[in-house]
Chain A
Amino acid sequence: MNDDHESQHESSGYGVYFLTWFALLLLTSITTTAAGMNFGGFSVFVALVIAAIKATIVIYLFMHLKYESKLFHIMVFIVLVTLVIFIGLTFTDILFR
Chain B
Amino acid sequence: MSSTHSVAMEHHKDYTGSKIGIWLFLITEVLLFGGLFLLYAVYRSNYTEDFHNAADELDTMVGAANTVILLTSSLSMALSIAAIHHGNRKLAIIMLVLTILFGGCFMVNKYFEWGAKISHGIYPGSTTLGHHPQGEIIFFGLYFTMTGLHGLHVIVGMVLLTVMLFKVMGQPRSQVQFVDGHGLEKMRGGKLVFKDRAGAEVWTSEEMDDSVQRISLNVKFWPVKKRFHVADYVQLENSGLYWHIVDVIWIFLFPLFYLIT
Contact = CB atoms under 8 A, between A and B. Distances in A.
B79 A17 contact: yes
B34 A83 contact: yes
A58 B45 contact: no
A29 B254 CA distance: 12
Contacts of B259: 31-32, 35, 43, 47
Contacts of A35: 60, 255, 258-261
Given A14-B82, A43-B260, 12 more contacts: A5-B230, A14-B79, A14-B83, A17-B78, A17-B79, A18-B75, A21-B74, A47-B256, A62-B77, A62-B78, A63-B245, A72-B19
A61 to B, nearest CB: 8
Interface string B60-101: 100010011001101101110111011000000000000000
Main secondary structure of the interface of B (DSSP, over half): helix
Interface residues of A, number: 47
B23 A17 contact: no
Contact of B252 (A11, A55, A86): A55
A21 B37 CA distance: 25
7 contacts: A6-B230, A35-B260, A47-B260, A51-B252, A51-B255, A87-B37, A95-B45
B30 A79 contact: yes
Contacts of A9: 85, 230
A43 B254 CA distance: 14
B38 A90 contact: yes
B244 A63 contact: yes
Main secondary structure of the interface of A (DSSP, over half): helix
B9 A1 contact: yes
Interface string A44-88: 100110110011001101110000110110011001001100110
Nearest to A71: B20
A62 B60 contact: no
Given A6-B230, A31-B259, A35-B259, A62 B82 contact: no
A83 B247 CA distance: 19
A50 B31 CA distance: 20
B229 interface: yes
Contact of B82 (A5, A11, A87): A11
